[in-house]
């Protein structure tokens, strides 16, 4: 056989297998993949390879392999032990929010429309009332994420002026969110005060002046300074700012609407407490709150009005899908007693280690069975989960899971790669030479069993 036997793109497209490819992937992609397959085969043959017995079939196989790439956005199992994993999309939403979001996607809704008067409404109004009720704030507004909330607040309060921040709070959250850079983009001049470990009331008093647009307090979300330290707590700082007639902006980062110490977590001020000790408070929608990505700004009505009048706000507004989902999540907070049943983030956070150990024991036989042929031993192990996304960075939650260890020295990376490549990817973390599957975030045993069934296929 020679190059003359190379079938044309049209002929392969016209074959029944070609038609199936078109059916699955559409004419444009199928044609493109077949053309690339023909080109690849031609160049192989020109470089001395034998022409295959059925060149059309080999081109189709090439095209199929090229097109069948699984969707990287397919659902996966987060068994990393980090409940709010930024790289895995943070919070898993409650069913109430899923339904509200899908209704919003399928239908028209009165997003900016007053159903009573028939005139124009405001999209923020759907969340404003709930946020006021849940935080006690005078007013509230919502933007794309908390980074936007901080940027917009600083720009509104301190563009062309100074913003005072303690050196102990000049944080980097990762992903280029660094306070000095955000400050610069907000058009505010950063005034750093105090030292890394100690900042005092007198430091604030000495640096607040006529040019000050805002005092910023930032939650040190992803680290903690310990030892010989001092910070000015929000209540005292609020008094200092008030006396100087300057607004205090408190960026809580994760922020929570309820006191998490009832689930054994460290006591952190809730958004409602923070509101009483600041003029504006910002926090995230998809961290501890357990909703979709969003940034909340709550506090003084006059300042919220200025924020809403800032043209930047329009560039950061939420769409109807997220407003619907957020509203559903916030409504769950009106009934705090049932939150852990209904809100996945809190349910995962509140799970007791003993319950997770029992789950690991239940799953052990199935998982061990799936691993045996691959040369991995499985045992139940205790481990530590974390909240993630900069919430309570130094606190861990006693948890349990399954440890997968290579019998004949196979590296845990190999099994980690294999599990990541499953139709439903299973993502654990490597520790002490084993791949650990922390089960804290696994709601249904069956989800893991059926994901592992993908190994056989």
Ligand X SMILES: *Cc1c(COP(=O)(O)O)cnc(C)c1O
Site for ligand X, rule CB under 6 A: 145-147, 150, 173, 177, 218-219, 221, 251, 253-254, 284, 295, 390
Min dist CB 301 to ligand X, Å, is 23
Min dist CB 168 to ligand X, Å, is 13
Closer CB to ligand X, 54 or 181, in the complex: 181
Min dist CB 134 to ligand X, Å, is 18
Min dist CB 258 to ligand X, Å, is 18
Min dist CB 454 to ligand X, Å, is 32
Place of tokens 């160049």: 43
How far is it, in rounded angstroms, from Cα 35 to Cα 33? 5
Q: Read off the DSSP letter of residue 282.
A: E
Min dist CB 173 to ligand X, Å, is 5
Min dist CB 104 to ligand X, Å, is 21
Min dist CB 240 to ligand X, Å, is 21
Distances (CA, A) of 93 to 133, 143, 260, 444, 446: 21, 18, 19, 15, 19
Tokens in use for 297? 């700004």
DSSP letters, 139-203, are EEEEESSHHHHHHHHHHHHHTTSEEEEEGGG--EEETTEEHHHHHHHTTPEEEEES-SSB--HHH
Place of tokens 């007013």: 139
Closer CB to ligand X, 173 or 232, in the complex: 173
Specify whether the CB–CB gap between 401 and 383 falls below 8 A: yes
Closer CB to ligand X, 221 or 385, in the complex: 221
Provide the pairing of β-strand 429-431 with 189-193. unpaired
SS3 call for 270: coil
Closer CB to ligand X, 247 or 253, in the complex: 253
- Residue least distant from ligand X (Cβ): 253
How far is it, in rounded angstroms, from Cα 398 to Cα 52? 58
Specify whether the CB–CB gap between 8 and 42 falls below 8 A: no
Cβ-based neighbour number of residue 185 at 10 Å: 11
Closer CB to ligand X, 147 or 157, in the complex: 147
CB hemisphere CA count around 277 (13 angstroms):
17
Closer CB to ligand X, 148 or 426, in the complex: 148
């Amino acid at each position: 056989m020679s190059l003359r036997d190379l079938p044309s793109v049209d002929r392969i497209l016209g074959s029944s297998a070609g038609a199936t490819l078109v059916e699955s992937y559409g004419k444009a992609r199928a044609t493109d993949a077949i053309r690339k397959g023909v080109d690849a085969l031609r160049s192989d043959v020109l470089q001395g390879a034998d022409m295959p017995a059925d060149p059309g079939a080999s081109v189709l196989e090439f095209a199929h392999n090229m097109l069948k790439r699984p969707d990287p956005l397919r659902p996966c199992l987060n068994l990393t032990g980090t409940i709010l994993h930024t790289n895995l999309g943070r919070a898993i939403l409650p069913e109430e929010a899923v339904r509200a979001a899908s209704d919003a996607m399928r239908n028209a809704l009165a997003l900016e429309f007053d159903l009573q008067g028939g005139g124009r409404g405001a999209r923020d109004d759907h969340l404003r009332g709930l946020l006021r009720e849940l935080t006690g704030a005078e007013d509230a507004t919502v933007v794309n994420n908390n980074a936007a909330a901080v940027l917009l607040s600083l720009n509104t309060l301190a563009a062309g002026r100074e913003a005072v921040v303690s050196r102990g709070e000049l944080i980097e959250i990762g992903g280029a969110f660094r306070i000095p850079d955000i400050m610069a983009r907000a058009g505010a001049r950063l005034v750093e005060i105090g030292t890394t470990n100690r900042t005092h009331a007198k430091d604030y008093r000495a640096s607040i002046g006529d040019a000050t647009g805002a005092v910023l307090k930032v939650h040190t979300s992803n680290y903690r300074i310990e030892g010989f330290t001092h910070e000015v707590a929000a209540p005292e700082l609020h008094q200092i700012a008030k006396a100087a007639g300057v607004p205090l902006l408190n960026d809580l980062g994760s922020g929570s609407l309820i006191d998490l110490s009832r689930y054994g977590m460290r006591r952190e001020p809730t958004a409602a407490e923070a509101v009483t000790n600041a003029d504006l408070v910002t926090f995230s929608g998809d961290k501890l709150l357990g909703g979709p990505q969003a940034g909340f700004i709550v506090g003084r009505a006059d300042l919220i009005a200025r924020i809403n009048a800032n043209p930047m706000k329009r560039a950061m507004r939420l769409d109807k899908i997220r407003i619907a989902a957020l509203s559903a999540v916030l409504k769950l907070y009106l009934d705090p007693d049932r939150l852990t049943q209904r809100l996945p983030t809190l349910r995962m956070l509140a799970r007791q280690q003993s319950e997770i150990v029992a789950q690991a024991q239940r799953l052990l036989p199935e998982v061990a069975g799936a691993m045996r042929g691959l040369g991995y031993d499985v045992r139940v192990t205790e481990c530590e989960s974390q909240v993630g996304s900069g919430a309570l960075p130094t606190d861990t939650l006693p948890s349990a899971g399954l440890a997968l260890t290579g019998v004949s020295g196979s590296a845990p990376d190999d099994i980690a790669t294999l599990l990541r490549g499953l139709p439903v990817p299973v993502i654990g973390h490597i520790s002490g030479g084993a791949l650990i599957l922390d089960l804290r975030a696994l709601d249904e045993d069956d989800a893991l069993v059926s994901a592992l069934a993908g190994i056989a296929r």
